[in-house]
Amino acid sequence: MKDTYKKNLIKTIKKILGEENILYSEDAIYAYSTDSTNIINPDEKADIIAFPTTKEQVSEIMKYAYKNSIAVVARAAGTSVCGACLPKKGGIILDFSRMNKIIEINKDNLICKVEPGVVIEDLKKAVEKLDLFYPPDPSNLKVSMIGGSIGLSSGGPHTFKYGSTKDYIIDLEIVTSDGRIMHTGSSCSKDVTGYNMTQLFVGSEGTLGIVTQATIRLIPKPEAKRIMLAYFDNLENTSTTVNDIISNLITPSVIDLMDKNTLKTIESFYPSGLLTDKEAALLIEIDGFKENLDKQYEQIIEICKKNNSAYIQTAKTKEEEDKIWISRRSSFGATAKLAPNVVTEDVVVPRENIVKLVKGIWEICNKYELKTCIMGHIGDGNIHPNIALDLRNEKEYNNFIKAKAELFELALSLNGRLSGEHGIGCEKSYFIEKALDKENLNYMKQIKELFDPKNILNPGKIF
Ligand SMILES: Cc1cc2nc3c(=O)[nH]c(=O)nc-3n(C[C@H](O)[C@H](O)[C@H](O)COP(=O)(O)OP(=O)(O)OC[C@H]3O[C@@H](n4cnc5c(N)ncnc54)[C@H](O)[C@@H]3O)c2cc1C
């Protein structure tokens, strides 16, 4: 029975895409049963990997999958850290890496149209050549793709000033679970013609429909930027510094926090002159017109000093700026060198509770003897504990599971949420009932059923 199913599946997808656009060897299937979440379950794997290049092909595949109740997982670069790409019920993985065209950049309308496999950094570079700006930039922007960042509504360091992916997507071309093709919005920068269907799909983790094209809002590129690192001996001072900067009517384009362990770990593996004896550092970037920046920069330095900053590292050249950014973007990679595995969490709280959150995480990780490097977007209240461990070690694994549950409880007790930008996937779904209003959750489940009555779109995620 299983053999006939698989033979027919391969035959059909081969007919739609051609032999050169499918994979079904054991090796390929194994590679695609993982994402960046560090979970490998040999019993949970797909039956075929398909590389569509047109929306019509996606539609044909979905029609076949719907008719035969076959699960379909959309996949971009597979860097999800919440298990959002893991195949839980076999079936088809739709890999969008070959649908990677920037279709149009329209400077007059301040929009662009792209296929889901466009790498985020490629899009940013292409629009910047025209003095335009696409702000969302997950730290792994050199590999992660537009389709995946729509699936998770990715954020990154610039969210405090500019918002996340959801703030830039104005229209999606969607292939529905039964293979129909629809548009959710328009190319207009303002549009309240009916419900905001576009926003429903952004962050839906491929559980409601498959994105085959996105229309993205752009903004003018800021003329210049300045960056600094301010070190503190006391965590409370990082938070009061952020509040004072905002009270002085300055909106930094980035305001990120790195704790002592993060500074030490980055410096051990990617030496770049970071101070390793301070409790925490704030990476602060401002952008805008050149003539305004010097004054704001000086004001921020004064505010940091007033809040007892132990040392302020300014960047005077492009090389010095790049050095700070490279070290910041290395935090995950550096932590990964501490142990065979690294798990990154993503809780978010109202900003006023950030110090309680960070101290609580330190306590939980100490209690369970977990090596943790904390960094995050302090302006948004969004913190990423990067936990280095060996998941094969039973004690460490059990400790991690307990710590993770306590971390979620802590965030909820501080009026927070389970995820600020990484999503829920299958890794946090067990906690979703605690995190959401009951009626809200009921409506979410009904929406899922409406768009995907056979539960074939990325089953086992979110709920
Ligand atoms: C080192 C590292 C650093 C990171 N830094 C950040 C960060 O700073 N900020 C941040 O927000 N996140 C970050 N992430 C998390 C994550 O990688 C990003 O959110 C990224 O944008 C996901 O892109 P991807 O192309 O890998 O998507 P994938 O992991 O392939 O997919 C993500 C989700 O989107 C769905 N999807 C993919 N394509 C489609 C499609 N065509 N239609 C419908 N659904 C689709 C998938 O089914 C899945 O649910 C980081 C991850 C790593 C490993």
Residue with token string 């985020």: 120
Atom 13, ligand 1: residue with shortest CA distance: 138
Residue 169: closest CA among 198, 135, 132, 137: 198
Burial of 319 from C-beta contacts in 10 A (0-12 / 13-18 / 19+): exposed
pLDDT of residue 190: 93
CA-CA distance, 435 to 423, in Å (whole number)? 13
Ligand 1: centre distance to CA 298 (Å): 37
Contact present, 244 and 307 (Cβ < 8 Å):
yes
Three-state DSSP class for residue 171: strand
Identify the band that residue 1 occupies on the pLDDT scale cut at 50, 70 and 90. low
What would the pLDDT profile of 280-328 be if each residue is shown by its tens digit? 999 999 999 999 999 999 999 999 999 999 999 999 999 999 999 988 8
Beta strands at 48-50 and 92-95: parallel, antiparallel or unpaired: parallel
What would the pLDDT profile of 192-240 be if each residue is shown by its tens digit? 999 999 999 999 999 999 999 999 999 999 999 999 999 999 999 999 9
Ligand 1 within 6 A of CB of 154: yes
Ligand 1 within 6 A of CB of 81: yes
pTM for the model = 0.96
Ligand 1 within 6 A of CB of 73: yes
Residue with token string 């003539």: 291
CA-CA distance, 47 to 92, in Å (whole number)? 6
Atom of ligand 1 nearest to the CA of 333: 1
Strand partners, 102: 114
The pick from 95, 114, 120, 139 for probing ligand 1's pocket by mutation, whose C-beta has the most ligand atoms within 8 angstroms, reads 139
Ligand 1: centre distance to CA 273 (Å): 31
Atom 14, ligand 1: residue with shortest CA distance: 138
> Domains (ranges, CATH) in the chain?
2-97 (3.30.43.10), 99-220 (3.30.465.10), 224-332 (3.30.70.3450), 336-435 (3.30.70.2740)
Angle of helix 55-67 versus helix 2-17 axis, rounded to 10:
160
CA-CA distance, 284 to 271, in Å (whole number)? 20
CA-CA distance, 181 to 175, in Å (whole number)? 5
Instruction: Name, in order, each residue with C-beta under 8 angstroms of 348's C-beta and a sequence gap of 6 or more.
Output: 380, 381, 382, 383, 411, 416, 417, 419, 420
What's the mean per-residue pLDDT of the chain?
96
What would the pLDDT profile of 40-83 be if each residue is shown by its tens digit? 777 899 999 999 999 999 999 999 999 999 999 999 999 999 99
The pick from 36, 119, 140 for probing ligand 1's pocket by mutation, whose C-beta has the most ligand atoms within 8 angstroms, reads 140
